[in-house]
Amino acid sequence: MSNVGLIVGRELKAYVRSPLGYAAAAGVLLIDGIWFMAKALGGPAEKRLSASVLAEFFNGATGTTAILAIALAMRLIAAEHDAGTLVLLKTSPIRDWEIVFGKFLSVMLVLLAITAMTAYMPLLILKNGKVSVGHLLVGYSGVLLLGASVTAIGLFASALAKNQVVAAILSAVLTGAMYLWWLVAKIADPPVTEVLEGLAIHHLRMRDFMTGSLRLENVVYYLAVAFFFLLASVKTLEARRWR
Amino acid sequence: MIEVRELSKYYGETKAVGPLDFTIEKGQVIGLLGLNGAGKTTTLRMLSSELLPTSGRMLVDGIDLAEEPDQIRSKIGYLPDRPPLYGEMRVREFLEFAGRLRGMPALGLMKRVNEVLALTSLVAHGDARIDTLSHGFRQRVGIAQAIVHTPALLLLDEPINGLDPVQIVEMRELIRSLRGEHTIVLSSHILSEISETCDRLLVLVDGRIVTEGTEEELAERMTPGFDVRVVARGDAAAILEQVEKVDGVRAARRLDGKAVASEYRADPAVVAVHVTADRDVREALCKALVGGDIGVLEVMRAEPELESIFLQLAGSANDLEALDGEGNES
């Protein structure tokens, strides 16, 4: 695991030293803040339940987190390939899974830090409204689990592509497709409907988290998506040794 | 110490390199010589374990790369044609990172990094961001990352590419200073570089080693016989006539004025002649020329230059086929 720590450390330093990390944090805080003002504090004149305001906040946060995950993950391997530094990792006694997991973990730590900075908004609801701490924790768990899945998708795209732009487009297309399964489900017949709805990365799965309902199957789903794409990233790196 | 057996690389149906067979003794500096596209980089990528071979084996100190890749990787330092550097890192920090990646313990790492900084003349730039360094210094950092873990085998792909003449001399001295501590394989298409730095040459053409040996051995193999250069004062036709009379001389030809030493160039009567003979005919040539009343200024053995050897090797497919057999026997 020390190799994983080495990769995580280098990646985190790279974020701190580049404008990307700061720009991403500023962008997320700005958009989440605007969303919170417009959807949660603004909106219809009639009184709303604190829980629905919190759910609305998490709905917006999932969008910004997914975009943030794509932006942070696109460079992970593609940039190394582009700069010629991947060879340093590939010729060192470090396993491909350690490279992939270290990079994944670094993005997750950045996501966690930036997501933590948005906590003042739900805390305002917690203080002034009637929501439970559990709802808040479950909502944030959903946001981070979605972030983990999209990061893994982005990492896979970054391993496939040779430059960051292509990696970003590819991960956006893959994530978009995973978002939109539920639309396809609408025009499908059972049992395909259930399967497609179950595969959709946001629709039903995230609704539970947003409303403060923690279901094991949803947690397993997001972990499985993350694991699948991390494994695909490792296999892609391994395959690259033949080219 | 390093054994390469039947190593090949195919991309689909297209053969890029191989089969390669060679052995490198500990502490040797080996030059991988070939034109662009000959397979030098692919060979080094396979030796560095960056690229997996389609077939064949590579053993370092008896350990098979396919069986113990991590153990082998910690014994190899590799500088690709483009140094693998993280621009946002500082030189010292990057070398520590490279050392830890290769499995060096934290204890002693700082000391080794300081040694490597001194060896590569980077002490003054230890705290500089890598992306602020000039190409020459970046190349030095590239070498530094390759040697920080004291690898048994050091692979350098075109290490002087893009360097100015002063940097080339410095890089050459640096590579020479690494001799002994590391076994070095360096690739180049620059003949003088190979000639200046390496103990032994492997000549690659179309992905195959067509011949190997020291520069002298290659010269011997390519130009069997004895070459002599004669510088004399007299009529050129008379000199050639006297030379061709000597028993054992196969051919003689007049060289251009550049072959004459500078102190004789002002004298139009001074002529340089290249003689190819079956054996050492220097004594007989002297006698014949003096007997012909010709003023002998120099009679010396002429060494065929690496450039002409290489051009012969790369130039003729027929020669290559013939040499392939010879190279494998040597």
Q: Tell me: do B123 and B168 sit in the same domain.
A: yes
Report if residue B324 sits inside a domain: no
Q: Tell me: do B197 and B228 sit in the same domain.
A: no
- Note the pLDDT of residue B329: 36
pLDDT tens string B68-78: 888 888 889 99
Task: Give me the CATH number covering residue B80.
Answer: 3.40.50.300
Per the listing, tokens 């040694």 go with B115
Q: Tell me: do B207 and B229 sit in the same domain.
A: no
Q: Cα separation of B184 and B148, whole Å?
A: 14
Report if residue B319 sits inside a domain: no
- Note the pLDDT of residue B308: 61
Strand order in the sheet with B153-157: B76-79, B153-157, B183-188, B29-33, B200-205, B208-213
The mean-pLDDT minimum among A10-24, B96-110, B305-319 falls in B305-319
- Note the pLDDT of residue A128: 81
Report if residue B54 sits inside a domain: yes
Q: Tell me: do B208 and B253 sit in the same domain.
A: no
Q: Tell me: do B210 and B238 sit in the same domain.
A: no
> Taking residues A66-79, what's their average pLDDT?
92
Across A90-94, A127-131, B289-293, B317-321, the highest mean pLDDT is recorded for A90-94
In sequence order, what are the residues at sequence separation of 6 or more whose Cβ sits closer than 8 angstroms to the Cβ of residue A4? Answer: A98, A101, A102, A105
Structural domain boundaries enclosing B206: 2-220
Q: Tell me: do B164 and B132 sit in the same domain.
A: yes
Domain end point (choices B161, B190, B220): B220
* B109 part of contact set with chain A, CB < 8 Å: no
Minimum-distance CB partner of B52 among A14, A91, A242: A242
Task: Give me the CATH number covering residue B275.
Answer: 3.30.70.1560
Q: Cα separation of B132 and B251, whole Å?
A: 58
- Note the pLDDT of residue B292: 85
Domain end point (choices B220, B248, B276): B220
To test the contact with chain A by mutation, choose from B14, B42, B50, B135 the residue with the greatest count of A C-beta atoms within 10 A, namely: B50
- Note the pLDDT of residue B320: 44
Structural domain boundaries enclosing A133: 2-240
Complex-level ipTM beyond the 0.90 threshold: no
Q: Tell me: do B163 and B262 sit in the same domain.
A: no
Domain end point (choices B205, B220, B235): B220
> Taking residues A38-48, what's their average pLDDT?
67
Report if residue B327 sits inside a domain: no
Report if residue B307 sits inside a domain: no
- Note the pLDDT of residue A47: 66
pLDDT tens string A205-229: 888 888 888 889 999 999 999 999 9
Q: Tell me: do B112 and B150 sit in the same domain.
A: yes
Question: Higher pLDDT residue, A181 or B325?
Answer: A181
Q: Is the peptide bond before B19 cis (omega within 30 degrees of 0)?
A: yes
pLDDT level of residue B94 (50, 70, 90 thresholds): very high
**Of chain A residues 77-116, which have a CB less than 8 A from chain B?**
83-95
Minimum-distance CB partner of A93 among B50, B73, B145: B73
Q: Tell me: do B268 and B124 sit in the same domain.
A: no
**The two three-digit tokens of residue A62, written as one number:** 């999932």
User: Phi and psi (nearest 5°) for B195?
Assistant: -60, -40
pLDDT at B35 over 80: no
> Taking residues A30-52, what's their average pLDDT?
77
Q: Tell me: do B141 and B289 sit in the same domain.
A: no
Mean pLDDT of chain B: 82
Report if residue B328 sits inside a domain: no
Give how many domains chain A has, as a whole number: 1
Minimum-distance CB partner of A93 among B70, B87, B88: B70
Q: Tell me: do B238 and B197 sit in the same domain.
A: no
Helices B236-245 and B282-291 cross at an angle (nearest 10°) of: 130
Q: Enumerate the residues of chain A whose CB falls inside 8 A of the CB of residue B70.
A: 93-95
Q: Tell me: do B48 and B131 sit in the same domain.
A: yes
Minimum-distance CB partner of A87 among B71, B84, B87: B84
**Of chain B residues 8-37, which have a CB less than 8 A from chain A?**
11
Give how many domains chain B has, as a whole number: 2
Report if residue B308 sits inside a domain: no
Decide if A90 and B83 are in contact by the 8 Å CB cutoff: no
Report if residue B12 sits inside a domain: yes
